[in-house]
Each structure stands twice: as structure tokens, then as C-alpha cells.
Structure 1
Amino acid sequence: MSFTLRSLFIVAFGSLFCTAAWGQNTAEGDHPPALLPLASEPAPKIVAYAPLAEPLARGVAIIPFRTENLRIMPVFGTAAAQVSPRLGHLHVTVDHWPGGWAHTSVDPVIVNALAPGPHKVLLEIADPTHKIMTSTTVDFVAPQRKADEQHAH
């Protein structure tokens, strides 16, 4: 029983000490804010990979990508464009369609129901105000599917 009370006292005291120390340091300004004003940072880059073969055989393009010098997040507006590390999202356009979408996560880009044949997916890095910073295009060919595979789920 005394072991349990002693352990509980140590945890409670530690929590109180850490909370007081954290509040003291943040009040004194010893810690930087979570987001810093944007300074001179290297330009963002995007690296996209070929779609995964198995889903592509079913007419689904799963396109893995990575970014450098930019974090993909669902944030928008002029204030978000001024923070460091740099924040942004992707604009995705398929086969020069007039419409596209904003991709706001680090998950692969997924395009469904592709017809057999050649396709182009344009991936543009945009800042939180939708200003395009850089881009890359992924070219690939969706293979012809057998009639029974087209209706299988």
C-alpha cells in the first residue's frame, strides 16, 4: 500500500513540477513559438513516383510522392503563407481536365476509373494562398483490362 501511495505522490509532484516549469519557461519566452515567421528557406521540391502497378492494372492510379522544404497540410490564407517551416498543398489535374482538386495530405494521390491508355497527372505545389511554387507531371499508361476484370470489385 505504501508503494502505491509513494508512486502516486511522485507522479503528482512530477506533474506539478513539469506544469509549473513549462508555464514559467513559456512566460519568459525561453521557447520559440510553434510556428516561426518565414525566413529565407530553400525552394520547395516535389518528387513523384510511378503509379503502383497492381492497382493501375484495375484502372486505379495510386501515385506516391514526397516533398522537400514544405509540409503538406490543410491550411489556407495569407497568415499561413508566412510561417516556417513552409506549409502548402497540392493542386492535382488529370489529363488536362478543366477541373482538379486540392490534395492536403501526405497520402498518395489516388485517381479512380481510368480508361485504358496514356494519362498525365499534374502535381503542383501551392502555398496556402494557392500560388503555384513548383510542379511535376507523372506520365503513365493504364493497361487494357479484360471484360471480366472491369466488373470485378
Structure 2
Amino acid sequence: MPAAVRTVARFDLPESDAFTRPYWDAAAEGRLLLRRCRAEGCGAAHHYPREFCPYCWSENVGWEPASGRATLYTWSVVHRNDLPPFGDRVPYTAAVVDLAEGPRMMTEIIDCPEPALRIGMPLVVHFRSAGATGAADDGGFALPVFRPA
């Protein structure tokens, strides 16, 4: 009898569907997309991608390229994480950044030692292949992370 194949859940990979596919395709090409409301009188940008505007509830929203610029709002250095594969990456810097277009985004800060982190520091987006997590099955995803500008 063949041995059972055991798979480990990937908590570090997004779930893509028809709605979010443009976002993940753009990320794989090194571009960050946002959603912006097209309703008259609103025009707010938002992130994470949603099918409606979280400010006015209009469904008249569309994708647009983001500049990739941001400022650091807050962060936490994670020294322990028991979910695979995050435990192999500690320590890492989980952060919230203010995108130049307005929305806040959860992300990771790379290429910056903890003592150099400052609220309001300018950042720029970088895209890390999900394969950089060490797993072979990355689903073709690239994840937006930020580094000092």
C-alpha cells in the first residue's frame, strides 16, 4: 500500500480568483494595483481589493496603477511564528504603510535593520517571488513588500 502523501497548508500564499487575478498578475509583473471608486463625488482609492467602494458603497470601482511609494505607519518585528513557513523566516518586520495614494496596506519591510525603522520613513515597493519562501509550489505569486526608498 503506498504511503499517504501529507501536504502542509500554505498560510503565506494568497487565494486568487477571477476578481483578484488582475492584482496578482500585475504583482507578478512588478506593478502594484489599487482599486479606486469611480462614483461621482467619491473617487477614493482603497486597498485591499474589494468589488465595492468601502467609503460610499458604490460598485463603480476599477483597477489603477499605484506609484509604489509609501511611508511607514507602524511595524512589529516578529521573532516567533509557529505557522509554516513563517517560522523559518523569523525575525521579520510586519508593517502597515500609508500608500502615496492614501490607503493603508499591511506588508513586510525588507532590507532595513530594526534600529533604522522610523515612523514616516519613505518606502518603495518591491516584489518578492512567493518561491522565496523556500517552497517549490509558490503558485506563481509575487508578493508586494517594501524597502527604504
Alignment TM-score, normalising by the size of structure 2: 0.24
Higher gyration radius (CA): 1
Higher helix share: 1
Alignment TM-score, normalising by the size of structure 1: 0.24
